[in-house]
Each structure stands twice: as structure tokens, then as C-alpha cells.
């Protein structure tokens, strides 16, 4: 993380002034924002969070809240679907829903999340216009969405779903890159594991890998510029906090499995800082290279190989081509991943590339190309999707220019881009009857990432199955994810008679356009080293599979 232009930042910390006498962002109030999951699956009643940060320095009373819910649509295609449903059901347009809450909650904690239940709300898309009145030292203020200085308020946007997002049978969907409140520094902070677990349930996730910065564990929670005696106890506290979360909800249903992962700064082959996410490591892994606390001293403290040799956990290249500003490159010594950084000849190597980091931007494009090039060398790395969310359940607030301005974007939303892994039915036979499905475990997830079958998506399901005749690809969508498909495309790379991969690029070996929301496409794989697929729905939702290696 840094506060320089080009970096993707999160929940905005506005009180740090670098010991300067002024800051246009500094106000003697805690940071207060409304946040909410971007969607609610059936069975989860909608709610909002009031997020309060730094009230330990600025004790404040949350007096009352007013939320006005307005029906909304996202685009013409979705408009048409809703209009068709309304005509079929002869429904009138939904009136605004007004919810008023008298709270009178005094907040003195460093961080507090206050939930506001919204009750039963009809299926649909909504804008939540949120107004809050707070009081401090005899002064009162009322604001919309947030009290962040010089940042225009925008409404929360969420959907109440009629059905869950489609998922392949025997698969589990997860958030592979997000941050808790243990990631906190000069310009950002994350959410608590409890809040992330509840948000994961709301949006329809099965597991969450919390990947807090290795360097943030090395500094204290009370003062993120002061080094802790050791980072190990803070990492252990995160593990304990996650271990204490509920396994079941009040109805006996499984809660999303929360994992204490890590995002480690490591040195690439050119001596630059790159980031690597780790899936539930056995213990703390060090990496302080670009922590921003040592000013110009930003050389990597460990190489990628050294970090890999310190753990047996699955490791992934985090946003390997996320674009950055010149100051990040030259001051924080940040760089990009290179083929040699994957350590594929090492006993423990990089297992996948998290090139989809919340949005399909230039970093996505370059990362996808990097991944395909590695497939062409016979390196069957997994494609990984995540969001790098620091809180950011609905949208992202960020420092734009330090001390001067903030910004807002709906990118990097928690749980939006998910990695979906094949974990099987997890059922065991007892006598003649099948035992009830067991809860998802870390062992299931580790086994899935050891294997080769996964897909990444922000909506539709897209997966492959091996059979006697080759590979069959399956694509599924629904009204929630955009209806039918604009396209489903199958790619492959040929193999030569000597058994080596052909030097030419991938070829498209199958394509369907304007396809309904249900497609099954068998592919003859003779002469190919691997095949894979991509799809996009009518509303631009996308999915991409791992490469199916031809045995």
C-alpha cells in the first residue's frame, strides 16, 4: 500500500498529518460512513453498516439515521428484464421505502461497525440514500453517506436477489484477496473478520481468504507508525479472532469459512517489491519492503524464493500487472512479476496468478496475457480472481492526494470477483444412507488448489468436465447475472507430433454467440495440449476457466 498516485486505496484514513500543522482532510470528528454488501442472496435480509473509525480520539454519539430506498436499474438490458417481469406480474413500480432509526449510540472505540436491519424488501435493485445525525462536544452535524471532507456523497447500491448466483455443482466460491482491520496505516483501514464473514454470507460466498499486509502486522494497532515488539502476536490474534467466528448461523446453516491468510511484500528478480498472497500459512511470513514507514528505505526484505521456502501454503502472485505511478516505482521500488519470479523449478512454486483484481482493466489484460504465455510453456498455473477490498463492501473511498483530496469508485468491491474451486460433494456414506454434507474445510480448499479445476467470475458459472470423449464445457447464467450469453468461447493450444507444445498462439476451437443462459459444449481434444473457456453475459458479466490439460 502507498499513498502515491496510481495505487488502489480503501476506507479512507483522514486524520494522519505526517506531524504537519495542517491537512485539508483533517476534521475533529471520527470518519463515519455507511456501507452494505453489494447484493443479498435469498434467505439474507438486507442491512447496512454504520462504520465509525477513530472515535477513541473523537468520542461521538450517533443520534439517528434515515434511509430512503429507491428502486433502480443498472442498464437497458436489465431494465427490459425487469419490465418484462413487471408486465407479466402486472406489478406497479415500487414506491420509495423510508426507514428511520433512533439510535443514541455513544462510540468511543477505535473502530466500530453498527448494523442497521432494513427488514424484508422486495426483490430488485436499489439505491440507498443514507442520512445520519451525529453529536460531539455539544455540536451536531447531519450528512449523507459519509462525513468525509470534500467528497461528494453517492448512494449505496445493492440488489436483493430472487435466486443465488449460479455455481457449478460440487464447487465453492471464495474471496481470495481482502483485508481486515489488521491492515491499517496512514491512508487506509479494513473491516473486522466478523463483518467480512457476514458480508460473505450476504453476497453468497463459501470462503474468504483474509490477506492482511505482512508489514502491517509489524506495527501496532494503536499507532501504525510505531513498530510492534514482534509481528507474530498480531498475526496470531487475527487467527484467534477468525477461529472464534461462528461455524453455523442461527438456523443451523454453514457460515462462510474464514481463513487467516497474508499479503507479503517480496523481492522479484530485479530487486523490486511485488506482492504475493498466501492461503492460510502456518505462521507469520515477513515482508516489509514497501511498507511506507521508512521513507526512502524500501528495498525488499525477503526474496520471493525465500518466502516460498518458508511455507508449504499455496502462494499466488497478487495483481501481478496492476498499473502504478512513477512515484510508486521509484520511491517504493515497486515492480511487476516476471516469468522467473514464479519459481517453477523450485520445490515450492507460485500456484496461480491473481490477475483479475476487482475490475477488467489494463492490469487484467496484461495479467491474462502473462498467464496464457505461461500455459504455452506448459506451466499450468491457476487463474485467480479477487478484489483487494479493505472493507469496501459496496464501493471504495480513497485518498487521492495526501492531505488534500479523496476519491470514490465502485471498483474493488468485496466478494464481487470470486474464485470458484472444485471441492466435490463432501458427502460420506454411512451404511445405505448418505451422511449430511460436511462443512467446507481448509483441507478441501488446499486440495482444490493442488488440483487444476477452477474458474473466476463476477457472475456466470463456467466450468469443464473430463469425459471419455474429451472435455465438456458448461455455462450457466440467470436474470441476476445478465440473462443469456453474448458469447461462450473455447480456446486451445495444439501439441506437435513430438509431444511438445506448438510454438504458435492459442486458437479458438469453438464459439457460441447470443446463447441462452444454459449451454453445454463438448469439445474434441485430439491434437491439443489443453483447452479453456471464457464467456460474457448480456450485461457484461464475465467468467474464465482454468486450463484443462489433456491427459
Taking only the tens place, the pLDDT of each residue in 376-386 is 999 999 999 99
Confidence tier at 89 by pLDDT (50, 70, 90): very low
Domain termination site, one of 390, 421, 452:
421
Residue-level pLDDT at 9: 39
Please state, in angstroms and rounded to a whole number, the distance separating the CA atoms of residues 346 and 298: 26
> 71 and 94 in contact (C-beta within 8 Å)?
yes
Same domain for 472 and 404: no
Summarize pLDDT for 240-280 with one digit per residue, the tens.
999 999 999 999 999 999 999 999 999 999 999 999 999 99
Confidence tier at 92 by pLDDT (50, 70, 90): low
Residue 44 has pLDDT above 60, yes or no: yes
> 60 and 107 in contact (C-beta within 8 Å)?
yes
Residue 91 has pLDDT above 70, yes or no: no
Residue-level pLDDT at 221: 83
Please state, in angstroms and rounded to a whole number, the distance separating the CA atoms of residues 396 and 178: 13
Residue-level pLDDT at 1: 33
Residue-level pLDDT at 545: 98
- State the SS3 of 141-164: EEEECECCCCCCCCCEEEEECCCC
Mean local confidence (pLDDT), 161-165: 95
303: Cβ contacts below 8 Å, ≥ 6 apart? 266, 267, 268
Please state, in angstroms and rounded to a whole number, the distance separating the CA atoms of residues 518 and 540: 16
Summarize pLDDT for 532-550 with one digit per residue, the tens.
999 999 999 999 999 999 9
Residue-level pLDDT at 11: 66
Mean local confidence (pLDDT), 323-332: 81
SS3 58: coil
- With respect to residue 67, please indicate whether it lies within any of the assigned structural domains: yes
Residue 76 has pLDDT above 80, yes or no: no
- With respect to residue 362, please indicate whether it lies within any of the assigned structural domains: yes
Residue-level pLDDT at 210: 98
Please state, in angstroms and rounded to a whole number, the distance separating the CA atoms of residues 541 and 537: 5
- With respect to residue 133, please indicate whether it lies within any of the assigned structural domains: yes
Please state, in angstroms and rounded to a whole number, the distance separating the CA atoms of residues 167 and 173: 8
Same domain for 524 and 413: no
For residue 527, the domain's CATH number is 2.60.40
Confidence tier at 79 by pLDDT (50, 70, 90): very low
Residue-level pLDDT at 253: 94
Confidence tier at 437 by pLDDT (50, 70, 90): low
Confidence tier at 88 by pLDDT (50, 70, 90): very low
Q: Report in angstroms the alpha-carbon separations of 212 from 113, 206, 280, 362, 449.
A: 19, 19, 11, 24, 20
Residue-level pLDDT at 20: 73
Grid coordinates representing 202? 450476504
- With respect to residue 452, please indicate whether it lies within any of the assigned structural domains: no
Query: In this predicted structure, which of 11-25, 72-86, 110-124, 340-354 has the lowest mean pLDDT?
Result: 72-86
Domain termination site, one of 371, 402, 421:
421
Number of domains in the chain: 2
Residue 428 has pLDDT above 50, yes or no: no
Domain termination site, one of 374, 391, 421:
421
Grid coordinates representing 470? 474429451
Identify any residues that bridge with 403 across adjacent strands, giving them in sequence order: none
Q: Which is higher by pLDDT, 324 or 35?
A: 35
- With respect to residue 25, please indicate whether it lies within any of the assigned structural domains: no
Name the percent of the chain lying above pLDDT 70: 90
Please state, in angstroms and rounded to a whole number, the distance separating the CA atoms of residues 210 and 387: 11
Same domain for 467 and 390: no
Same domain for 47 and 115: yes
> Average pLDDT of the chain?
90
Residue-level pLDDT at 117: 97
Closest CA to 113 of 178, 176, 180, 158: 180
Residue-level pLDDT at 83: 43
Q: What are phi and psi of 60, to 5 degrees?
A: -140, 145
Same domain for 414 and 477: no
Q: What is the pTM of this model?
A: 0.92
Same domain for 171 and 252: yes
- Range 499-503, long-range pairs (CB < 8 A, 24+ positions): 501/376, 501/377, 501/378, 501/529, 502/529
Residue-level pLDDT at 86: 43
Mean local confidence (pLDDT), 200-215: 97
> 100 and 30 in contact (C-beta within 8 Å)?
no
Confidence tier at 223 by pLDDT (50, 70, 90): confident
Same domain for 496 and 387: no
Residue 285 has pLDDT above 90, yes or no: yes
- With respect to residue 434, please indicate whether it lies within any of the assigned structural domains: no
- With respect to residue 123, please indicate whether it lies within any of the assigned structural domains: yes
Confidence tier at 425 by pLDDT (50, 70, 90): low
- With respect to residue 83, please indicate whether it lies within any of the assigned structural domains: yes
Residue-level pLDDT at 490: 97
Summarize pLDDT for 485-533 with one digit per residue, the tens.
999 999 999 998 888 888 888 999 999 998 899 999 999 898 999 999 9
Same domain for 183 and 329: yes
Same domain for 504 and 412: no
Same domain for 373 and 503: no
Confidence tier at 46 by pLDDT (50, 70, 90): very high
Domain that holds residue 101: 31-421
Residue 434 has pLDDT above 60, yes or no: no
The sign one gets for the Cα dihedral 362, 125, 37, 384 is negative
Confidence tier at 147 by pLDDT (50, 70, 90): very high
Residue-level pLDDT at 4: 35
Residue 433 has pLDDT above 60, yes or no: no
Residue-level pLDDT at 295: 66
Same domain for 539 and 417: no
Q: What are phi and psi of 268, to 5 degrees?
A: -85, -170
Same domain for 493 and 359: no
Amino acid at each position: 500500500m502507498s499513498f502515491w498516485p496510481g495505487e488502489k486505496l480503501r476506507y479512507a484514513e483522514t486524520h494522519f498529518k505526517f506531524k504537519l500543522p495542517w491537512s485539508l482532510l483533517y476534521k475533529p470528528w471520527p470518519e463515519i460512513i455507511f456501507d452494505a454488501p453489494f447484493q443479498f442472496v435469498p434467505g439474507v435480509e438486507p442491512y447496512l453498516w454504520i462504520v465509525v473509525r477513530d472515535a477513541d480520539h473523537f468520542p461521538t454519539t450517533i443520534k439517528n439515521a434515515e434511509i430512503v430506498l429507491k428502486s433502480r436499474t443498472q442498464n437497458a438490458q436489465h431494465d427490459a428484464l425487469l419490465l418484462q417481469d413487471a408486465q407479466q406480474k402486472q406489478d406497479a413500480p415500487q414506491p420509495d421505502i423510508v426507514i428511520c432509526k433512533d439510535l443514541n449510540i455513544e462510540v468511543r472505540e477505535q473502530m466500530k461497525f453498527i448494523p442497521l436491519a432494513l427488514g424484508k424488501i422486495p426483490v430488485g435493485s436499489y439505491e440507498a440514500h443514507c442520512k445520519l445525525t451525529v453529536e460531539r462536544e455539544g455540536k451536531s452535524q447531519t450528512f449523507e453517506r459519509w462525513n468525509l471532507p470534500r467528497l461528494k456523497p453517492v448512494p449505496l447500491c445493492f440488489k436483493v436477489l430472487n435466486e443465488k448466483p449460479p455455481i457449478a455443482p460440487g464447487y465453492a466460491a471464495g474471496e481470495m484477496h481482502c483485508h481486515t482491520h489488521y491492515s491499517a496505516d496512514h491512508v487506509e483501514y479494513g473491516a473486522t473478520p466478523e463483518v467480512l464473514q457476514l458480508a460473505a454470507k450476504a453476497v453468497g460466498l463459501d470462503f474468504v481468504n483474509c490477506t492482511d499486509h505482512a508489514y502491517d502486522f509489524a506495527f501496532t494497532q494503536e499507532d501504525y507508525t510505531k513498530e510492534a515488539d514482534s509481528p507474530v502476536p498480531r498475526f496470531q490474534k487475527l487467527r484467534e479472532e477468525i477461529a472464534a467466528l461462528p461455524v453455523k448461523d442461527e438456523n443451523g446453516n454453514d457460515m462462510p469459512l474464514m481463513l487467516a491468510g497474508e499479503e507479503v511484500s517480496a523481492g522479484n528478480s530485479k530487486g523490486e517489491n511485488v506482492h504475493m498472497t498466501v492461503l492460510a500459512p502456518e505462521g507469520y511470513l515477513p515482508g516489509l519492503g514497501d511498507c511506507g514507514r521508512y521513507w526512502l528505505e524500501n528495498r525488499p526484505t525477503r526474496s520471493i524464493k525465500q518466502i516460498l521456502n518458508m511455507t508449504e501454503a499455496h502462494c499466488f502472485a497478487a495483481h501481478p500487472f496492476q498499473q502504478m505511478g512513477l512515484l510508486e516505482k521509484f520511491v517504493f521500488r515497486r515492480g511487476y512479476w516476471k516469468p522467473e519470479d514464479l519459481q517453477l523449478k523450485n520445490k515450492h512454486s507460485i500456484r496461480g496468478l491473481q490477475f483479475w483484481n476487482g475490475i477488467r482493466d489494463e492490469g487484467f489484460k496484461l495479467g491474462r496475457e502473462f498467464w496464457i504465455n505461461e500455459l504455452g510453456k506448459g506451466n499450468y498455473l491457476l487463474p485467480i480472481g479477487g478484489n483487494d477490498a479493505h472493507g469496501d463492501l459496496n464501493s471504495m473511498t480513497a485518498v487521492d492526494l495526501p492531505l488534500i483530496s479523496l476519491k470514490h469508485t465502485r471498483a474493488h468491491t468485496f466478494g464481487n470477483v470470486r474464485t470458484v474451486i472444485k471441492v466435490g460433494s463432501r458427502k460420506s456414506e454411512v451404511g445405505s444412507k448418505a451422511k449430511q454434507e460436511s462443512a467446507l474445510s481448509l483441507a478441501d480448499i488446499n486440495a482444490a488448489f493442488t488440483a487444476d479445476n477452477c474458474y473466476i467470475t463476477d457472475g456466470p458459472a463456467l466450468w469443464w468436465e473430463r469425459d471419455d470423449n474429451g472435455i465438456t464445457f458448461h455455462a450457466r447464467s440467470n436474470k441476476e447475472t445478465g440473462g443469456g450469453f453474448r458469447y461462450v468461447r473455447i480456446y486451445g493450444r495444439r501439441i506437435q507430433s513430438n509431444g511438445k507444445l506448438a510454438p504458435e498462439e492459442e486458437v479458438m476451437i469453438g464459439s457460441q454467440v447470443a446463447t441462452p443462459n444454459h449451454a453445454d459444449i463438448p469439445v474434441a481434444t485430439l491434437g491439443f495440449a489443453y483447452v479453456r473457456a471464457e464467456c460474457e453475459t448480456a450485461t457484461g458479466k464475465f467468467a474464465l476457466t482454468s486450463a484443462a490439460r489433456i491427459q
